[in-house]
Amino acid sequence: MAEKERRKDVNTENRDMLISIIKKLAKKEVDKIEIPLTFYGFGRVKYDANKCVACLKCYENCPTKAYDAVRLFDLSTVKNADIESLWWKRGIIFQLIRELAQKDLEGYVEVPEGLRGYGRVEHNEELCISCSKCADLCPTKALTFENEINMSLWFKGGKEE
């Protein structure tokens, strides 16, 4: 509900129209199309939860509010992380969690509202207008922008006319 409320001012009418026109014009269903570099408006965002530090920059700055903040910290990220490659303090914390753990690091820990640094985001591709702002803002490169269009999303469900 809260997410709905947050998105009530988001208007993607024009884009929806464009997509429906492309769909009508399409002679066959295509899966992926590569697009030129720095050609914004099309393309897709890839998210790597292991790199994410839940700073919520993407969540706050997305013009179509395509992100949901998920207030769950996945313990398996601690288990799977390569400590050496983590940022200094994060590495220390993850190492401490591993050393303290009395059981297998699995499951989720609920993150209190307003606490940043733990948790992840969820990207709703059907709301995305591929502006690449999130990937630009993402401080840990957890979000990357790929120059290809996931056409399958348009054809299989996703946005209906």
Partner 1 sequence: MSEKEKKKNEEIRIGFFQCHCGVNIAGSVDVKEVVEYAKKLPNVVVAKDHMFLCSDPGRNLVKEAIKKYNLNRVVSSHCTPSLHQETFRTVLKEAGLNPFFHENVNSREHASWVHYRDKKKATDKVKVLVAGGIERVKHHKPIGTMRLKVKKSVLVIGGGPAGIQAALDLGKAGYKVYLVDRRPHLGGNMARLGKVFPTDDCPICILGKKFHELRQVKEIEVITYAEVKELSGYVGNYKVKIEKKPRYVDEEKCIGCLTCVSKCPVRVKSEWYEGMDVRPAIYINYPAQFPRIPVRDPEACINCGVCKKVCPADAIDFDQKPETIELEVGAIIVATGYEEWKPYAVEEYGYGKYKNVITQLELAQMLNPEGPTHGKPFKPSDARYDKKKRKLVIEGEPPKKYVFIHCVGSRDEKYFSYCSKICCMYSIKHAKMILMDVDPNAEIYLCYMDIRAFSKGYEEYYKQVQKLGARIVRGKPAEIREDPKTKKLYVKVEDTLLGKPIEIEADLVVLASTLRPSKGTKELADILRITTGEDGFLRELHPKVGPVDTVTAGIFIAGAASGPKDIPESVAQGSAAAARAMSLLGKGEVEIILNKAEVNQELCIGCGICETLCPYGAIKVHETHLGRKAKVSEVECQGCGACAGGCPTGAVMRRNYELDQMFAQIEGILRSAKEIFKDEPIVLAFACKQCAYAASEAAGTSRLEYPPNVFIIRIPCSGTIDIAHVLKAFKEGADVVYVGGCEPGSCAFVDGNLKAEKRIQFAKRLLDAIGIGGDRLEIFWIPAPESMKFAEVAKMMVERAKKLGPTPLRKAKAVKEVI
Question: Residue numbers of the site for partner 1 (CB under 8 A)?
Answer: 53, 55, 57, 73, 75, 87-90, 92-93, 96-97, 99-103, 105, 107-118, 139-140
CB of 105 to partner 1, least distance (A): 7
Q: Say which DSSP state 109 is in.
A: E
Q: Pairing mode, if any, of strands 44-47 and 143-146?
A: antiparallel
User: Where does residue 132 rank: exposed (0-12), middle (13-18), buried (19+ CB within 10 A)?
Assistant: buried
Residue closer to partner 1, measured from CB, 33 or 96: 96
CB of 116 to partner 1, least distance (A): 5
Residue closer to partner 1, measured from CB, 42 or 108: 108
CB of 61 to partner 1, least distance (A): 10
12 Cβ partners below 8 Å, 6+ apart?
A: 64, 127, 129
CB of 121 to partner 1, least distance (A): 13
Residue closer to partner 1, measured from CB, 123 or 154: 123
- Tell me the C-alpha distance between 81 and 79, whole Å: 6
Token pair of 14 as six digits: 């024009």
Residue closer to partner 1, measured from CB, 49 or 97: 97
Residue closer to partner 1, measured from CB, 45 or 138: 138
Contact 31, 152 (CB under 8 A): yes
Contact 54, 117 (CB under 8 A): yes
CB of 132 to partner 1, least distance (A): 16
